Chains A and B, each alone.
Chain A
Amino acid sequence: MTIPEHEAIIVESKLDIRYSYHVGPVAARFYEVLEREKRILGIRCGGCGKVYMPPRALCGACFVKMTEWVELKDEGIVTNYTIVHYDEPMRPVKAPFAYALIRLDGADTPFIHILGETDLSRVRTGMRVKAVFADEMPGTILDIHYFKPIDPEP
C-alpha cells in the first residue's frame, strides 16, 4: 500500500534520575576532613607504596587493605583535560569550562575536577594548579570549588 510522506517527528525526552549512595568508611573520612578542615587526604598502599587520591579501601594492584592516610598538598598538575562546550544542566558549571585530571603533589593517581579562573585557550597538560575551596560546602568533591592555575604563563 502507498503511504504519503509524513512530517519528520522529533523525539523530545529526558533522563531525570535521582540517586544516592553511602560512600563507605574510607571515602567518608576523606569527605569529613575535606569539609571540616579543608585538607585533602590520600591513602598509601603498604604493599606497593602507591598513594591513591581519591582514597579507596583496597589497592587495585596488590589487593591489600590500605590504612595509612597521607596528607596531600592542595596543589598539583593537570595530567589531561577536555574543554566542554556543550551545556547540560547536570554539569557543575556553565559551559564553556574545562574538566581536568589533576594529580596532587604527593599522590600517584589523578582525579577529575574542574578548572576555574582559567584562560581555556591556555590549558596545558603539566600546568600547575591549586585548589580553591567553596564558600558553601555541599559535602561532595565540589567542596573544592575548582582548581586555578598557579603562576599563569605570561
Chain B
Amino acid sequence: MSGPGVRRIDYHAVLPYRYAAGRTASRFFTELRDHKRFMATKCTCCGKAFVPPRPVCGECFLPLEEWVEVGPRGTLVGYTVVYFPFLDPLTGKERPVPYGYGFILLDGVSTKIQHFIEETDISKLRFGLRVEPVFEDARKGSFADIRFFRIVEEP
C-alpha cells in the first residue's frame, strides 16, 4: 500500500542458527527420541527436579548429577486456545488455527513446560486436567518429537 504520504515497508528476516545442546540436554533429547521418556535432573540439596534438565540448580548452585525418570503424564496448569493466525517464526509458515497451548507440570517435576494441547474447545480445558504426550512416529530429538498433549481420564 502506498500513495502520497502513505507508505508501507515489507521485511522478510530469515535467521538460521544451530547450536550444540550440551551434555545435559543431549541426554534429555536422546531419551525422548529413542525411548519416549522424560529424564529430569534432580537437585540433591533442595530436591527439585528439572525438565528440561539443567546442569546446575539455580537456587542451590550445585551441579545436578542425579537423573530421574519423570512423567510422561502431567497436569495442565495453564492454557489458552489460539485463534489468531500468525506466522510461526520457527517455520515461516502459518500454523492452522485453532490450536490449544498450555503449561504442563509433568509428574515428579518441579518446573513447567509449554506445549500444544490437542483439545481446542476452551470450555473443556481447565486447571488441573490430567494430560499425556502423543509422540511423533519419526522423532529427531527435540520438543517437536511430541505432537501435543492430550487429556486423559483418570479415576
Interface residues, chain A, with chain B CB atoms under 8 Å away? 1, 3, 6-23, 25, 27-29, 31-32, 88-90, 139-140
| Set B1, B5, B9, B90: member contacting A13, Cβ < 8 A | B90
Chain A residues near B20 (CB-CB < 8 A):
8-11
User: Can you list, as one digit per residue, whether each of B1-42 has a CB less than 8 Å from chain A (1) or not (0)?
Assistant: 110111111111111111111010111011100000001000
Is there an interface contact between A9 and B26, defined as CB atoms closer than 8 Å? yes
Tell me the minimal C-beta distance from A54 to chain B in angstroms. 12
Is there an interface contact between A20 and B17, defined as CB atoms closer than 8 Å? no
Is there an interface contact between B9 and A16, defined as CB atoms closer than 8 Å? no
Tell me the minimal C-beta distance from B52 to chain A in angstroms. 12
Q: Tell me the bound Cα distance from A27 to B2 in angstroms.
A: 12
Is there an interface contact between B30 and A18, defined as CB atoms closer than 8 Å? no
Interface residues of B: mostly helix, strand, loop or mixed? strand
Instruction: List 13 extra interface pairs beyond A14-B15, A21-B9, A139-B9, CB under 8 A.
Output: A7-B30, A9-B25, A12-B18, A13-B16, A13-B90, A14-B16, A14-B17, A17-B87, A20-B9, A21-B8, A23-B8, A89-B15, A89-B16
| Set A1, A19, A31: member contacting B7, Cβ < 8 A | A31
Is there an interface contact between B90 and A14, defined as CB atoms closer than 8 Å? yes
Number of A-B contacts (CB under 8 A): 116
Chain B residues near A139 (CB-CB < 8 A):
2, 7, 9
Q: Residue of B at shortest CB range from A6?
A: B30
Is there an interface contact between A1 and B91, defined as CB atoms closer than 8 Å? no
Is there an interface contact between A10 and B11, defined as CB atoms closer than 8 Å? no
Known A6-B30, A8-B20: A16·B14 in contact at CB below 8 Å: yes
Tell me the minimal C-beta distance from B29 to chain A in angstroms. 5
B97 at the interface (CB under 8 A from A): no
Known A9-B21, A10-B18, A17-B87: A32·B7 in contact at CB below 8 Å: yes
Is there an interface contact between A9 and B6, defined as CB atoms closer than 8 Å? no
Tell me the minimal C-beta distance from A132 to chain B in angstroms. 21
B89 at the interface (CB under 8 A from A): yes
Known A10-B21, A15-B90: A3·B7 in contact at CB below 8 Å: no
Is there an interface contact between B18 and A11, defined as CB atoms closer than 8 Å? yes
Known A27-B7, A139-B2, A139-B7: A15·B13 in contact at CB below 8 Å: yes
Is there an interface contact between A18 and B21, defined as CB atoms closer than 8 Å? no
